[in-house]
Chain A
């Protein structure tokens, strides 16, 4: 990550991860990766960061208490007004 080139490519890495990079830039990054280990390291850890976030998807369980509470409030709304 020493060259200005690395810096400008690092801005494209999210698009790379999301598969929304244009073919020209993609080819540029891939060829840059061949001789720039810091950029590869940066990319891999960024990719893992995104993966770690994705792993939270089912981590939150809706508490039954809150679900029941909502049903009660909805009922009182429809009766009350």
Chain B
């Protein structure tokens, strides 16, 4: 059955059609929730379930011309965001400034202690270190970094999902990356060398 047909049936309250419809999106939404709610597995599962429950309840309001993936990502991103606001365990944006970032202390020699992407996908321990660093970012930044660099969405799509301008997406992404680079430097220098 075509996606548009599944959407129509879901709008009429057909749970079977909706279950089929979300099959292509479930892993993506869970992955987003998992990385944004880094280190809190039950939160990720809750966000995943709530996203689709909310989508089912509100699918009548979904405009057929829009992109279903974008719509679902937006619901999930909002749920993550609300969660972090509620729990008030939000790191403040100033941690991004606290770091020496683009100051003077970049190593003069390029040291190859940085893990390669292949190493990260192979080693659980490295993955955990990356997720931990990610969890230190304020959620606004973590959402942008997750959508762009983990999920691989474009700046345009990310801007649509988060209702931000493209320059705002780019600036958050850059600041987020700079912070993580710094943290990886501290983290991996010890472990690899």
Contact = CB atoms under 8 A, between A and B. Distances in A.
Interface of A: 1-2, 6-7, 10-11, 13-15, 18, 20, 37-42, 44-46, 48-60, 62-63, 66-67, 69-71, 73-75, 77-78
A59 B121 contact: yes
Contacts of A49: 114, 177, 180-181, 184
B135 to A, nearest CB: 12
Given A11-B102, A14-B177, A48-B116, A78 B13 contact: yes
B127 interface: yes
A56 B35 contact: yes
A11 B182 CA distance: 15
Contact of B102 (A10, A18, A70): A10
A70 B185 CA distance: 40
Contacts of B180: 49, 53
Interface string B78-105: 0000000000000000000000001111
Of all A-B residue pairs in the complex, the 4 with the closest CB atoms, nearest first, are A51-B117, A60-B34, A55-B120, A53-B149
A3 B15 CA distance: 61
A44 B115 contact: no
Interface of B: 13, 15, 18-19, 26-27, 30-31, 34-35, 44-45, 48-49, 52-53, 56-57, 102-111, 114-118, 120-121, 126-127, 130-131, 134, 145, 149-152, 155, 170, 173-174, 177-178, 180-181, 184-185
Most buried by B among A11, A67, A75: A67
B52 A70 contact: yes
B149 A54 contact: yes
Contacts of B131: 56
Contacts of A59: 31, 121, 127
B164 to A, nearest CB: 16
Nearest to B51: A70
B40 to A, nearest CB: 13
Nearest to A73: B53
